[in-house]
Amino acid sequence: MIVGKASWFFENEPVIIATGVTGGPFEKNGKLAEDFDLLYDDLWMGEDSYEKAHRLLIDEACRIALEKAELTKEQVNFMIAGDLINQITPTSFAARSLAVPYFGIFGACSTSMEGLALASFLINGDGADYIVTGSASHNAAAERQFRYPTEYGGQKPPTAQWTVTGAGYAIIAKQNEKYSEKPKITAATIGKVIDMGLSDPFNMGGAMAPAAADTIETHFEETGRNHEYYDLIVTGDLGKIGRATVLDLLHSKGIHIPEEKFLDCGLMLYKEEQPVQAGASGAASSATVIYGHLLKQMNYGFYKKILCVATGALLSPMTVQQKETIPCIAHAVSIEKNS
């Protein structure tokens, strides 16, 4: 049901019945290693190109999610997913082997929540029984597309972020008594593209912050909720700079979220000593942390209601070279759990 202009309430409460989260070597050394279902020791993952390794991450994440949900792929109606690489080929190639009817979506690093919102809407409206959704990214594949070759010795500024190698996939299903204990999706707000005129591709957090702030503000306005409704508000990959800026922006708009309730996936993944500059980024940043870490925390009862805001910078290497500014987007999905 639509509320306001861009928000949905899901009165039938679709549930996340299972997740599959895979990661690479850098994530293995990170803070959240035990929240991953499968971790690879090197970036190649036994494949002969980074793009194939990227596809493998998605393949495995889907397989694990299906296994945990005790479903076969024939039972799944749709797959809604995407990634960052040219024409989202890794996801499409994974969809080829999965052979499930497929929506390919691109929302840069906001893909995870875009997929989750769409999947929830379809399930809520009786459009499907099971949907697999998620997003993925691969550090080396993204580096070579958006920046320089992996082994190139250029210096990255402290505002740069580290692309996560990983995939986070979830299976969304209709609510029934079997799943009453599972986390359910209650609302979503679709963001609009916002461009605040920043053009530095090595400072994505700063560019994406206004989009995140706007979506959070819209969400509160349209759903009538406020930050006290949630135990936790988590953003996708804003990093140090973006997170501080969003807090500032929201303060100036009269939304006073306490610092400890406002986390960023990009700052949760890695240890302090890992050389990631301002934090993690990439489509897998929000997907792996939310589907891996945060849903587990909800199952343990640490959080009851969380608002996930995944942010994406809608740039391409070409627009950067043509000196265009970076348009950004953010989507918010609220996940709750019955006590």
Which residues of this protein are in contact with other proteins, per CB under 8 A? 48-51, 144, 148-159, 195-199, 203, 206, 209-210, 240-241, 244-245, 248-249, 275, 278, 323-325
Q: Which is nearer to other proteins, 167 or 328 (CB)?
A: 328
Nearest-approach distance from CB 332 to other proteins, in angstroms:
20
Exposure b/e, 180-203, CB count within 10 A at least 16 = b? eebbbbbbbbbbeebbbebeebeb
- Smallest distance, other proteins to C-beta of residue 156, A: 6
> Please, what is the minimum distance in Å from the beta carbon of residue 148 to other proteins?
7
Taking CA atoms, 200 is separated from 153, 179, 209, 299, in Å, by 19, 45, 14, 39
- CB of 81 vs other proteins, minimal distance in Å: 23
For residues 4 and 273, what is the distance between their CA atoms, to the nearest angstrom?
44
Is the separation of the CB atoms in 306 and 294 below 8 Å? Answer: yes
- Minimum CB separation from other proteins for residue 246, in Å? 10
Cβ–Cβ under 8 Å, residues 262 and 218: no
Q: Which is nearer to other proteins, 72 or 318 (CB)?
A: 318
What tokens appear for 226 in the block?
Answer: 């406020």
Q: Given the complex with other proteins, which of 38 and 196 has the nearer CB atom?
A: 196
> Residue 118 or residue 141: which is nearer to other proteins going by CB?
141
Closer CB to other proteins, 154 or 301, in the complex: 154
Q: Which pair of structure tokens corresponds to residue 270?
A: 């890695």
Name residues whose C-beta falls within 8 Å of residue 140's C-beta, 6 or more positions apart in sequence. Answer: 43, 50, 150, 165
Structure tokens, 7: 């928000």
